[in-house]
Amino acid sequence: RGGQAEKEIPFAKPGSLTRVYAVASGKGGVGKSSVTVNLAAALAADGLKVAVVDADIYGHSVPRMLGVEGRPTQVETMIMPPSAHGVKVISIGMFTPGNTPVVWRGPMLHRALQQFLADVFWGDLDVLLLDLPPGTGDIAISVAQLVPNAEILIVTTPQQAAAEVAERAGTIALQTHQTIVGVIENMSGMPCPHCGEMVDVFGTGGGQTVADALTKATGAKVPVLGNIPIDLGLRQGGDEGKPVVLADPESPAGTALRAIAGKL
């Protein structure tokens, strides 16, 4: 056939000690990337060797949120990933010129993911987090093909509309025999800055609804791993490149995120 043989993906080998989590959501803007970078930073702060692959073609925001300033470099046939706060990062945004929107089809994305996993020099990792694009499309299937042992984390808001999407995610996981580790509910209310009372900006119960739907769809217990409140510090940490789990670990969002990281 000619051409180069594809390199092996180290995390997909039987006996690999790296836990791979694919972080998924039904739609954009629910905080999937914010959750990913904070979990990564919290795990790295606990002394684990952690990396993030930012495969969110629509909103590749991981480098900014983690304050990654370096660029990937090439050493012979391998790509060396930059890092920040002890987390190694490769982002699809590092390979697209400027801010050009990425209009990619499934096969190209599959190929990019394959390269991120096989051609990047990750070294020994304890945890690898994959920030997936929103939705339950081709990329979920690609992850399952490339890293069959990857486990799935679902991020949702408390709004009820998320349940349908979660059920689709459950169906895919069933087909690919992947484990859904749990559901993370984000934007779960906001403490009123004047009186401290919780305001349920996006309603309540979405995380539990999704977890119940996935438990039913897969026949395996899918728990809610935690609820993260709306927190100015979380948004600010993302904008400034210092995740809230590091900038303000005792804040409501920092506390919730560290507790979730402790369950992984």
Tokens of 130: 């994959």
Q: Is 185 in the site for ligand ADP (CB under 6 A)?
A: no
The binding site for ATP comprises: 26-33
DSSP 166-203: HHHHHHHHHHHT--EEEEEEES--EE-TTT--EE-TT-
Instruction: Tell me if 30 contacts ligand ADP by CB under 6 A.
Output: yes
- Report the C-alpha gap between 51 and 17 in whole angstroms: 14
* CB closer to ligand ADP out of 150 and 154: 154
Q: Is 210 in the site for ligand ADP (CB under 6 A)?
A: no
From 46, 49, 94, select the one nearest 70 (Cα to Cα).
Answer: 94
Is residue 187 part of the contact set for ligand ADP (CB under 6 A)?
yes
3-class DSSP assignment, residue 215:
helix
Which parts are annotated binding residues? 26-33
List 20, 21, 32, 43, residue binding ligand ADP (CB under 6 A): 32
CA pair distance 68, 37, nearest whole angstrom = 11
Binding to ligand ADP (CB under 6 A) within 73-112 occurs at none
Query: Which residues make Cβ contacts (< 8 Å) with residue 125, sequence separation at least 6?
Result: 11, 18, 49, 50, 51, 88
Quick check: 231 binds ligand ADP (CB under 6 A)? yes
CB of 188 to ligand ADP, least distance (A): 8
In which region does residue 219 sit, left (phi positive, over 0), alpha (psi from -120 to 50) or beta (all else)?
Answer: left
Q: Does 209 bind ligand ADP (CB under 6 A)?
A: no
248 touching ligand ADP, by CB under 6 A: no
Binding residues for ligand ADP, rule CB under 6 A, total 19
Looking at 7, 46, 49, 59, which residue binds ligand ADP (CB under 6 A)? Answer: 59
Q: Is 55 in the site for ligand ADP (CB under 6 A)?
A: no
Furthest C-alpha separation in the chain: 69
Q: Which of 165, 230, 260, 261 is in the footprint of ligand ADP by CB under 6 A?
A: 230
| Interacting residues with ligand ADP (CB under 6 A) | 25, 28-34, 59, 61, 186-187, 228, 230-231, 234-235, 238, 253
